[in-house]
Structure 1
């Protein structure tokens, strides 16, 4: 294995070994607390621009299969693990994780103290960094890490959104326009299972074109980056309010909020994992949810708007869901389609179908 370094912009340097491609990689370093689901994480478009560290120490033990992809390619800028399984075993196994990373040119590093890394990220917040095999001085490595691109100030949605429209579940009862800001496949699958014809359109699709399809509902998907950099989608949503039922997920939740006048902000280290407790305020029931986001809606900005807070995060009380009090529109910050994660929140898709009905 080739020696490599993970360098953070604040000066920390971790020594490890490359086990993916050996090209230098840069981005914002984040962590995910899921014990499984690395294949879905690698192919989730929401991770565009990010280097992902897995907190669980052993990754790759069931390899890569053909069923658990969330998109046709990987979107992470890099991958960090304590240890990867060199000899995976699973009845669906098609290839090893290492093979997949090399084929998809994903830079990955193993053998670092992931616990120490995550302590830094929790205390100081997510930060930019690089994975490199270059043997440079400490100062030059830190300078390169400081120059790594962050998530804000650039439109990452346009880099992952589809370029052409595609239809799934043709002829099903309810026609849903899925605005693709970086949609995971299982959002589309969850709708098709509920008798929906899903027309996936680029994030830049105009209001007129959306309404020309005569949809029963519009879903705004998850996606990467800062919602402020995708305000063109929020403007589209604002024009659709009252015209058709709307359901927003993750970035779609933030964009629906901005369309209604709410403000967003960056979390210190975000929520990424499959075990985040969320409380439904209408029932006081707590659901365990799958999450992947670094930005959130400011609760205080909802006060004078026609928005009702419906869900909160049990850990830090951040906004996890709201509904519009005048129009048929609601959203959640977490992922009701799970994948990976618990399926507690599948009922939200049923609520959307009922809203369309």
Structure 2
């Protein structure tokens, strides 16, 4: 059983603004560029298991901080065709996250092991999304396990547009001042050990949160905020794997039955405004990403995710060169006409 736990503290602004909860234009999933099967081919089958999956995630707006958890799965995609980093990059570019939590990132910290055995920086998963990260920091946290194939241990990678600040535990710098604290942690688990999972979460919450008398809300794949104050009682959730939903009865080693998605748990006081939680339809990994949008006054919308397509960039360069050439010839003949009156 794999368990990666993350403790993250969001330092948010004090006054709540009227964050929009509807009216966002739809955000369509990306089209992977490496020949992956069409999303629409499997969407109906996925709907059978995941009727709440919304392929149209709201776009990011002003005063919104989005937390996304994604399973890197360290080398395989859902079709077992190889390295899944390109698809994870495509997901992150579309999801426009303020904070990304990547699961199953291999250790050592400097290495990301691909199917071919190549070693690349773990930051390559996030870095190609470009200047979206004002500050990139990483933390490996929680319990690590040894993979049966690569013989490598795995941890959790955190990346954020909001600068990190290390104190007793990881904190995010406040946006326009620090007035209250909201605790958040994510969990990645696999298997039928519902009772064990519930006990582990309960112990973690008791150690970290109950002493501070903060109510806990669980944002699970039902897309509800279920209050869990005091002693935690988790419902027995019928997890289904994405592999099962797509019709493969015997998943490969990169997936396990009876698992569905990462969960985001939020411990918060009454002032925190949750806009919504979503389960994202993605085939980049065998876990489906979970998103949570929070209203944070002063947070700027993420507008620098999407780069110009290469064709558009080349066309722009050609246009600039052409205009420069025309201007140069014009100046040449104008100067020549002034010097030669005949």
TM-score (normalizing by structure 1): 0.28
Q: Which has the higher contact order (CA 8 A, sep 6+)?
A: 2
Higher CA-based Rg: 2
The structure with more strand, counted as a fraction of residues: 1
TM-score (normalizing by structure 2): 0.29
